[in-house]
């Protein structure tokens, strides 16, 4: 069982609100990732980090930002949420770059 946790599990908020999605892992992995999953299932990489103070944008452009101040923590922030941000957000970590990923249960975000 993977030791990677995401909170909240579900979030419904109004347009313009600032939100932070939390992701923590207890496996000591340097590599962490955020994926956005469309309603039609497809996964898109939006952010990744290869270690503390390292963050990179992924393949899909996103208005969100991330930070990596501690190895175990990789939060994602939306400064001003919009309905187009409604999606499922999946956090993952791996021991090595391009290796086996461990996923959290995801955060289902709905912006009204």
Chain contacts with other proteins (rule: CB under 8 A): 2, 4, 6, 33, 35, 40-43, 45, 48, 50, 58-59, 90, 92, 97-106
Backbone φ/ψ region at 92: left (φ over 0), alpha (ψ -120 to 50), beta? beta
Residues 89, 6: Cα–Cα separation, whole Å:
9
d(CA 72, CA 28): 6
Nearer Cβ to other proteins (14/53): 53
14 vs 41, beta carbon nearer other proteins: 41
Of 1 and 14, which has the nearer Cβ to other proteins? Answer: 1
> Tokens for 89?
């957000």
Nearer to other proteins among residue 14 and residue 40 (C-beta): 40
Closest contact distance (angstroms) between CB of 63 and other proteins is 21
Contact 107, 23 (CB under 8 A): no
| Minimum separation from the CB atom of position 79 to other proteins (A) | 25
End-to-end CA distance of the chain: 34
Instruction: Report residue 49: phi and psi, to 5°.
Output: -145, 140
């Amino acid at each position: 069982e993977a030791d990677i946790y995401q909170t909240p599990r579900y979030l419904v908020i109004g347009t313009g609100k600032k939100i932070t999605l939390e992701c923590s892992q207890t496996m000591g992995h340097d590599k962490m990732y955020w994926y956005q999953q469309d309603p039609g299932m497809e996964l898109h990489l939006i952010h990744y980090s290869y270690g503390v103070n390292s963050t990179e944008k992924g393949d899909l452009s996103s208005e969100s930002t991330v930070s990596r101040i501690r190895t175990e923590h990789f939060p994602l922030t939306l400064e001003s949420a919009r309905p187009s941000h409604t999606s499922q957000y999946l956090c993952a970590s791996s021991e090595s770059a391009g290796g086996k990923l461990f996923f959290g249960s995801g955060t289902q975000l709905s912006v009204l």
